[in-house]
A and B are shown apart, each in its own frame.
Chain A
Amino acid sequence: MGAAHSASEEVRELEGKTGFSSDQIEQLHRRFKQLSGDQPTIRNLRKGSSGLADEINFEDFLTIMSYFRPIDTTMDEEQVQLCRKEKLRFLFHMYDSDSDGRITLEEYRNVVEELLSGNPHIEKESARSIADGAMMEAASVCVGQMEPDQVYEGITFDDFLKLSHHPWSSWARVAEEQESWALELVVWHWVWWPECPLGPWPG
């Protein structure tokens, strides 16, 4: 009884932090246990990748998941903006692998290479030149005309925001669309098919 009570306390706390409903938290917890094999934490599956957390517990897991929650329709404009910015910051950190506050060309290239690695015919060099092109585009959007000796070191978060709000690139729209698709069917799916077989978890 007492344990159940404290568990629901915990759930409520998590609810407040992440904005998930208690049902959703319960579902995610089930999934979390499934993934971790009933351990309290999930170990980092990639070996030797430095700078990343070794393991995450359920709260971290929820926090990460909460970035992919759709934007609440009841929020006012300001909150929506803030929320969107947080989401973008999360994405920014996914690019910025050494978390020094800028996406350098090297980091960008890694991302692009990974993105294109699905197509075995595309060579690394092409991926690189695409990353170079994209970086140039970013530079031209963020800095405008550059002096010949000026060096563009990387995309900062501000630049990142600028990119997403620049009239040329409506990937703010893309971002919106994407994030709004993310958890679209969660409830639906869990209601109707709670034990669905999932693809093998990488490992």
Chain B
Amino acid sequence: MSGRWVQGPRWGLLLALLLALGELPRARGVEEEPGGAHGETQGFQVVTFKWHHVQDPYIIALWILVASLAKIGFHLSHKVTSVVPESALLIVLGLVLGGIVLAADHIASFSLTPTVFFFYLLPPIVLDAGYFMPNRLFFGNLGTILLYAVIGTVWNAATTGLSLYGVFLSGLMGDLNIGLLDFLLFGSLIAAVDPVAVLAVFEEVHVNEVLFIIVFGESLLNDAVTVVLYNVFESFVTLGGDKVTGVDCVKGVVSFFVVSLGGTLVGIVFAFLLSLVTRFTKHVRIIEPGFVFVLSYLSYLTSEMLSLSAILAITFCGICCQKYVKANISEQSATTVRYTMKMLASGAETIIFMFLGISAVDPLIWKWNTAFVLLTLLFISVYRAIGVILQTWILNRYRMVQLEIIDQVVMSYGGLRGAVAYALVVLLDENKVKEKNLFVSTTIIVIFFTVIFQGLTIKPLVQWLKVKRSEQRDPKLNEKLHGRAFDHILSAIEDISGQIGHNYLRDKWSNFDRKFLSKILMRRSAQKSRDRILNVFHELNLKDAISYVAEGERRGSLAFIRSPSTDNMVNVDFSTPRPSTVEASVSYLLRENVSAVRLDMQSLEQRRQSIRDAEDMITHHTLQQYLYKPRQEYKHLYSRHGLTADEDEKQDTEIFHRTMRKRLESFKSAKLGINPHKKAAKLLKRERAQKRRNSSIPNGKLPMVSSLQDFTIKEKDLELSDTEEAPNYDAEMSGGIEFLANIAQDTATDSPSGIDNPAFSPEESPGILSGVPPWLCPGEAVVPSQRARLQIPNSPGNFHRLAPFRLSGKSVDSFLLADGPEEQPHAAPPESTHM
């Protein structure tokens, strides 16, 4: 640990020196600039050293590199990061680097300028917060959040400013050139809880969601209050205390509503635009993620331009667009957006804290006044606590989930101040606010105190108070279903009892959303598949698939699948070995990221290659069958505009169908009181519907390789004979025809190039049910035994071509459908059309 600490400064020193070198010329660089050309009379030079040419971007890149490397450094030791929050470490690092530069150079190196902060560093963080906001939780607690954000911030600003003024009048601070309005101005900028700091600290603490959303929501929404208070008092200071009239105060109140509602409105308008745009990006998937960033950034800039609350704008842009954007963009784009956003936000946060540290190392800004600094610290803590307690007392009369004493303590203690306050204080005009430096240095002290000291102690505090923690848990289907049922029941009850509550409003909203908004803002395929229950269902299915392979890996190889002794291929049933038992495997790593329901086939593949040749064929087979083999090896095409061949989509589809069957098969023990014949009949019906589909979409099959062609014919024959055998199903066949209609329509409207949600396709159930599980076909031997399927001869050469053939010799299987389109990646595979 100590070694690392020695190392850290070492390279930090190098870089800092480099930066200092860069800084030197730049400080005087302006007049040197024209002189840079005077060496060029010597004729052509092979190599020239053009530092000035690249200076600015170079330095920026270096700083980012330093910050990122520092992050790596911190995380080398788990001990440090588990105790000290990263933000605190970064501030200390910034102080050290700033100190080095100062020592080497005797000038302050860099400081966090408000322009950089507000235009480049803050938006990604806030956008990230909005885009990944748990909407239900947020709106469920909106009243509470708003109260804390508005009343709480005003309270903090007023009390802090007035108390400081009171103490100033008593003469404790000595001789300062400050009036009441200056104090109020200072109070208003120091009052606001900072979203960046709160996020940075609370993300590591893992308090329960309600507590988190209240503190965090407050820190986001209080921006409007801060902006207005700041502007109002700044203009009052400019005017001079005696010229402020009552009209100005009223104007201030009005401007609060304009700024906050206006900012929100701008955000919502841009969210609407963004959703609408992503609806039509089907053919430009590659720039799809860009829209998300550009349009939300525009919302920020627009409201900044209109002098509305920019933070509110971008927050609400993220909050409102997330549902539609996530539904519209392809799964790859969604991942891109997610990671890019996280990367930008995390990077910005890193830079902010480091620069806060660096900015503090500047002898010019420091003006110390012990009483002022200490009293500020005291007042903001005390008044925050008092404010929280008062407001909670009011809120608890109306809240059902009471905020307890412990929660209040954490909320008071979690009132961290951060870079917003710093940027605002730096923005002050020294001519108007005479004691700007005192304010700046006090703000820095306050930030450092809250971020470092409170950040350090909040974790032990939370543990000591036994605050309810949030737990990471897997979604459960039952949970979602019951949750949905409760929603409906409760909104009905609210309707009956004649009150307008959350549930009633939410119900109305979701109706409105479904009837109008979704129709406008979502592409048609997404409209179908957007349903939380389906999503959970899909996730669970994917997990089953993963745990299936994991189970294989745990047993050492995938050979167990072909092992004849086990007879059926379903010997890994998912009810018993729950995923938690197989922690060591690849799939565990995959599963860690619950929200990312994507299988990294590459890693699976690498793992697979270690298995010896003898098993390889079988493995191949297995993967083909259960996980769909990645075929990326021979895909070396480069295209800037398109990601070729969406293997993942097919894999998802494939896995989905596999696991659906698995689920059904392992369901065998639960016949659940249904007449098995009835069920079998239903299955047959579905099967038939699907067959009909197969045969009647010839273009889905035409381009297939010849080995499959004869199979197709065979299959048709099979189907014909089937229909003849059972003409009494004709009535039920109409379902199949409906399917056809659907497909024809769907293929026309949407290409398969985007999996928005593999959980749903109109055909999913036939796909699942098509392989009739043996036990459901009593004695008719429609399906060959699993072993028989496996023992159909194959040649390794065209192995995966044969797989569907072999497997579906008798019963039609969904591979064929899933496999078919792969030859013609741009046609619509019926199975995956609406994945």
Contacts and interface: CB of A to CB of B under 8 A. Distances in A.
Interface of A: 27-28, 31, 34-35, 65, 68, 70, 73, 91, 94-95, 104-106, 111-112, 115-116, 118-119, 121-123, 125-126, 128-130, 132-141, 144-154, 163, 168-171, 174-175, 177-186, 188-190, 196, 198-199, 201
Interface string B484-514: 1111111001111111111100001000001
Nearest to B540: A133
A185 B479 contact: no
Contacts of B533: 112, 115-116, 130
Contacts of A136: 575, 663, 666-667, 670
B669 A106 contact: no
B525 to A, nearest CB: 9
B672 A135 contact: yes
A20 to B, nearest CB: 11
A183 B497 contact: yes
Contacts of B663: 129, 132-133, 136
B487 A178 contact: yes
Contact of A152 (B471, B501, B660, B672): B672
A124 B663 CA distance: 18
A169 to B, nearest CB: 4
A137 B503 contact: no
A150 B487 CA distance: 34
Nearest to A190: B499
Nearest to A138: B478
A106 B673 contact: yes
Contacts of A188: 398
Contacts of A106: 672-674
Shortest 9 CB-CB contacts between residues of A and residues of B: A121-B528, A125-B765, A180-B400, A105-B672, A171-B479, A178-B486, A31-B498, A140-B575, A169-B476
Contacts of B490: 68, 178-179, 181-182
B162 interface: no
B481 A134 contact: yes
A91 B484 CA distance: 13
A48 to B, nearest CB: 20
A149 B668 CA distance: 9
Contact of A182 (B484, B494, B668): B494
Of listed B490, B496, B531, residue having the most chain A CB within 10 A: B496
Interface string B350-388: 000000000000000000000000000000000000000
A31 B497 contact: yes
Contacts of A137: 476-478, 540
Given A136-B670, A168-B474, A178-B490, 4 more contacts: A31-B497, A148-B668, A148-B669, A171-B483
Of listed A28, A130, A146, A189, residue having the most chain B CB within 10 A: A130
A172 to B, nearest CB: 10
Given A170-B471, A171-B482, A180-B401, A105 B499 contact: no
B252 interface: no
A109 to B, nearest CB: 10
Nearest to B507: A199
Contacts of B762: 121, 123
Interface in B247-303: none
A126 B834 CA distance: 14
B479 A65 contact: no
Classify chain B: how many residues form its interface, as a range: 35 or more
B498 A154 contact: no
Nearest to B399: A184
Interface string B456-478: 00000000000000010110111
B766 interface: yes
Contacts of B660: 129
B79 interface: no
B670 A139 contact: yes
Interface in B130-146: 140
B685 to A, nearest CB: 10
B482 A122 contact: no
Given A73-B402, A129-B765, A135 B483 contact: no
B768 interface: yes
A126 B656 CA distance: 13
Of listed B484, B575, B674, residue having the most chain A CB within 10 A: B575
A129 B764 contact: yes
A182 B494 CA distance: 7
B634 to A, nearest CB: 36
A175 B482 contact: yes
Given A105-B670, A147-B669, A169-B476, A184 B534 contact: no
A188 to B, nearest CB: 6
Contacts of A105: 670, 672-674
Contact of B501 (A94, A189, A199): A189
B537 interface: yes
Nearest to A151: B671
A34 B402 CA distance: 33
Given A115-B488, A132-B663, A126 B764 contact: yes
Nearest to B525: A121
B499 A185 contact: yes
19 contacts: A65-B493, A65-B496, A68-B490, A94-B489, A105-B673, A106-B673, A132-B664, A134-B477, A136-B670, A140-B575, A154-B673, A168-B473, A168-B476, A169-B478, A171-B483, A179-B490, A186-B497, A186-B499, A198-B498
B95 to A, nearest CB: 43
Contact of B575 (A146, A153, A163, A178): A146
A104 B673 contact: yes
B639 interface: no
B576 interface: yes
Contact of A153 (B494, B527, B534, B673): B673
B686 interface: yes
Contacts of A28: 497
Given A118-B514, A126-B534, A126-B760, A153 B672 contact: yes
A197 to B, nearest CB: 10
Nearest to B493: A68
Interface in B503-544: 503, 508, 514, 527-529, 531, 533-534, 537, 540-541
A130 B486 contact: no
Contact of B495 (A126, A148, A189, A198): A198
Nearest to A30: B498
Contacts of A151: 669-673
Contacts of A175: 482, 486
Contact of A184 (B400, B471, B477, B485): B400
Given A151-B672, A154-B673, A184-B398, A130 B477 contact: yes
Given A181-B501, A181-B503, A184-B399, A133 B537 contact: yes
Contacts of B400: 70, 180-182, 184
A199 B498 CA distance: 9
A1 to B, nearest CB: 30
A145 B514 CA distance: 41
A170 B479 contact: yes
A189 B481 CA distance: 30
A23 to B, nearest CB: 13
